[in-house]
Amino acid sequence: MKRIFIIVVTLLTAVSVVSAQTAKTVIIPRPMEVKAAKGAYTVTAKTIVGVATAELVRPAELFADYVAKDLGAVLDVKEGDKGGILLSLDTSLGKEEYTLDIASKGVKIVGGTPQAVFYGLQSLRQLVSAGEVTKKGIKLEGVSIKDKPLIGHRGAMLDVGRYFFTVAEVKRFIDIAAIHKINIFHWHLTEDQGWRVEIKKYPNLTKIGSKRKETIIGRNSVSKTYDGTPHGGYYTQAEIKDIVKYAAERYIEVVPEIDMPGHMVAALASYPHLGCRDEKFEVRTRWGISKDVLCVGKETSFEFIEGVLSEIISLFPSKYIHIGGDECPRLRWSECPHCQKRIQDEGLKDENELQSYFMHRIEKFLAQHDRRIIGWDEIIKGGINKSATIMLWNDRNRSKVTSLGNDVILTPKYYCYMDYYQTTRPFSNKEGLLFRDNRILTLRKAYSLDPYEGLQPSEYGRIKGVQANLWTEYVPTFHRAQEKLLPRLAATAEAAWTIGAKDFDDFARRLSHLRKLYDKEGIHYATYFFDGVDELAE
């Protein structure tokens, strides 16, 4: 009995010591484990970043640039085991797993891969930004951090089809994503209102499809007023390769989206024979859904899509290609003799199965090129292969989609749509218009996303990703885009990364420090939460 008592006391004491060591942090997303450690280290303009292998030189150089504003100089990076900040690899750690230790002798970051070390450096970047400024430099308190993400795919989507953003602005979006340990940039490149990617086999896509003559002003559902100003732009293949390389240096994979068979009016305006009706089309000047879609009854449509995707594959090394599949009305197909003949010849039940037929063919083509498809959750209607990944935007379909056995990327609109209002007082706070005026996503709501809500433990493995989406119907400038994205992206990033219970009050405390980093980097963000007008009305 006495032996059992001693063991129990020993265990309780150990738990108490660990609890006492647990420390608060300023880092977003919150690391898996943070413990206080003895000592402190001051980073100065003369601190050397030592790297154990050449693979870590580029992450170290990026970090040196990141903290130059704080230290007044770019830190030297040298290969070897000497330096106030030492970076190394340990293959026993996971792909995105790292440790970060700060003591009186310096800083050590160890990662399972260079990508993991980069994440450790992003954490260190936040610590430096929030550190105590002294005459010598930035003082960092001793700490021991062990960290890895909950979810593998942590995405941010930018819609450039509605409004075109420059190469510099797209890179800025990638920089913002990197701060939050986002590893997927979903690039929505084509829409009814504009085709943004150069396809050399089909030059009219950019010659004609990249420009609309004007844009609607005001609420899409009621307005009949237009600005009378042409809007356009596209990315050359050289620019796309440059952006893909830029993202890769920050360990972000670019997943392109060519939306099909709906949202194709810009392509139809460029090549009218691809439609069901023998008439000319115009790049769409209003928002919303067009009845005119790609004709699935014509073989020329498949030749076109395969030609486009062949060039997309050459530009983007990503494992996945997003092929949309959302919001595709069936009216034109029901009236089209080519589509009806296809339904009859293939023994299809209806127009829903016709879209499924289209998706299967495109998936097969991409599989032949060692690529996999992602599609919005509408692609499940009519049937879809188990190899397809479903991007779930309609949260009502979550249990239905996960029960199919497909991999799922969560982007539920009421948690992850960054174009929604951030406050219940949008007009008084000049948030601008929204496609639908009753949709609100506060910071607290974004933070509350639970990737596994409503699912059985056996289904958890199907959730492969969490993603924030920025649609741009009413986001005409990059300044506005940043204000829509931030600080809500920080909440989504933490929902995807952090293992363990949520604590919004602690998140808010840490966000006040991240805000200072935004300011130093000249990043625009909405201030509603900081001004006390973020919360939903009771």
% of the chain residues with pLDDT over 70? 94
Going from the C-alpha of 344 to that of each of 146, 191, 286, 353, 538, the distances in angstroms are 59, 30, 35, 11, 55
pLDDT at 437: 67
For residue 102, give every residue at least 6 positions away whose Cβ sits within 8 Å of its Cβ, in sequence order, or none.
37, 39, 40, 41, 127, 140, 141, 142, 143, 144
Rg (CA), the chain: 25
382-391 CB burial, b ≥16 within 10 A, e <16: bebeeebbbb
Is the CB of residue 496 less than 8 Å from the CB of residue 150?
yes
ω into 230 cis (within 30 of 0): no
Give the span between the Cα atoms of 449 and 467, in whole angstroms: 11
Within a 13 Å sphere around the CA of 354, how many CA atoms are in the beta-carbon half? 26
Q: In whole angstroms, what is the distance from residue 150 CA to residue 491 CA?
A: 14
CA–CA distance, 45 with 56 (Å, rounded to integer): 20
How far is Cα 410 from Cα 267, in angstroms, rounded to an integer?
Answer: 29
Nearest by Cα to 466 from 488, 440, 439 = 488
Q: State the pLDDT at residue 426.
A: 59
What's the pLDDT band for 3 if we cut at 50, 70, 90? very low
User: 42: which strand partners?
Assistant: 139
Q: What is the pLDDT of residue 17?
A: 35
The string of pLDDT tens digits covering residues 111-123 is 999 999 999 999 9
**138 or 399, which is more confident:** 138
Rounded to whole angstroms, the Cα distance separating 511 from 490 reads 8
Strand ranges inside 162-230, DSSP E? 184-188, 190-191, 194-195, 211-212, 216-217, 225-226
Helix axes 167-179, 114-130, angle to 10 degrees: 80
- What pLDDT band is residue 532 in, cutting at 50, 70 and 90? confident
Task: Note the pLDDT tens digit of each residue in 236-259.
Answer: 999 999 999 999 999 999 999 999
